[in-house]
């Protein structure tokens, strides 16, 4: 801690260090510095650089201020863990009274109904993606997420807020991706669900629940389509088949071993850059004013 304070003391102008540097070091040896003292030293150096410092000193003071401020902000942000679950979406054609010569590659479902595989062409993948988007809208509705929040006691420190607001905040931490590009094409799962939460075990539990709800919603919509078809068979124009998508779990929610965020290095880099930019601007302004006064 004292070493850090000595580095902060070097931010003061050279004239001040020549005159008071020895006293400053002696004070550090006799005192027990506290974190708040670091802010006082930094603020004092900043103010003195603004009035008497050089171009480089002003720039350095602002850059370090930005760096320390961003680090302080990042430390107040809780760590979050990202869990993910993967699913396989298989397109299939449900055929009634299939002719025997076309039954290769089909599985009997009973009652004269057959499930036939469909080749996953780009057009079929686009259709799957569109279907997944519709399913996602259902499972990420405010009512659905509010039920998950209550069942899993999520966001306990924010439960004073309306459930709709909490559901909106939760929705920002959920990603449902059809055919994610980061997986090899020959081993690519059709759907991946991601969820971020400050507790790794809760993130795993909720991710699995989101996956289950998506599968259940797909089954529910298939049942609704079948019911509509039974009531209005004329919609098919007499065809004896229909398209369907079967979703099956490949891997349940993972237990993340390390936090996914916040990225404190990125935050610190952004703070350093912002402080440097502000310091250069301020140094140019102060130097131009000094020239005018001279």
Binned at pLDDT 50, 70 and 90, residue 34 comes out as confident
Q: Rounded to the nearest 10 degrees, how much is the dihedral formed by the CA atoms of 181, 183, 184, 186?
A: -100
Can you tell me the distance from the alpha carbon of 62 to that of 47, in angstroms, rounded to the nearest whole number?
10
CA nearest neighbour of 36 among 73, 70, 72: 72
Give the tens place of pLDDT for each residue, 146-199.
999 999 999 998 988 999 999 999 999 999 988 777 666 656 667 899 999 999
pLDDT for 200 equals: 95
Class of residue 176 by CB neighbours under 10 A (exposed 0-12, middle 13-18, buried 19+): buried
In the chain, what is the greatest distance between 2 CA atoms, to the nearest angstrom?
101
Sign of CA dihedral 253, 254, 256, 261: negative
As separate numbers, helices (DSSP H) first and strands (DSSP E) second, the chain gives 9, 6
- Reading the block at residue 135, the tokens are 């399913």
């Amino acid at each position: 801690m004292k070493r850090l304070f000595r580095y902060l003391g070097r931010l003061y102008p050279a004239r001040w260090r020549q005159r008071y540097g020895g006293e400053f070091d002696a004070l550090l040896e006799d005192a027990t510095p506290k974190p708040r003292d670091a802010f006082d030293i930094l603020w004092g150096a900043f103010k003195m650089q603004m009035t008497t410092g050089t171009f480089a000193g002003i720039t350095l003071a602002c850059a370090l201020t930005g760096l320390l401020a961003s680090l302080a902000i990042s430390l107040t942000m809780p760590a979050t863990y990202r869990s993910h679950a993967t699913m396989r979406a298989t397109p299939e054609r449900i055929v009634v009274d299939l002719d025997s010569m076309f039954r290769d590659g089909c599985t009997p479902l009973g009652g004269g109904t057959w499930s036939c595989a469909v080749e996953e062409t780009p057009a079929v993948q686009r259709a799957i993606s569109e279907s997944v988007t519709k399913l996602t809208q259902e499972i990420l509705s405010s009512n659905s997420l509010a039920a998950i929040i209550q069942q899993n006691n999520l966001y306990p420190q924010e439960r004073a807020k309306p459930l709709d607001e909490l559901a909106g905040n939760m929705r920002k931490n959920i990603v449902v991706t059809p055919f994610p590009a980061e997986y090899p094409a020959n081993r690519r799962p059709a759907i991946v669900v991601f969820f971020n939460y400050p507790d790794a075990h809760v993130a795993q539990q909720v991710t699995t629940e989101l996956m289950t709800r998506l599968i259940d919603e797909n089954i529910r919509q298939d049942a609704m389509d079948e019911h509509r078809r039974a009531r209005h068979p004329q919609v098919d124009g007499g065809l004896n088949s229909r398209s369907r998508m079967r979703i099956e779990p490949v891997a349940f929610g993972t237990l993340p071993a390390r936090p996914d965020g916040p990225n404190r290095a990125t935050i610190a880099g952004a703070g350093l850059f912002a402080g440097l930019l502000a310091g250069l601007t301020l140094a140019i302004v102060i130097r131009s004013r000094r020239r005018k006064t001279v």
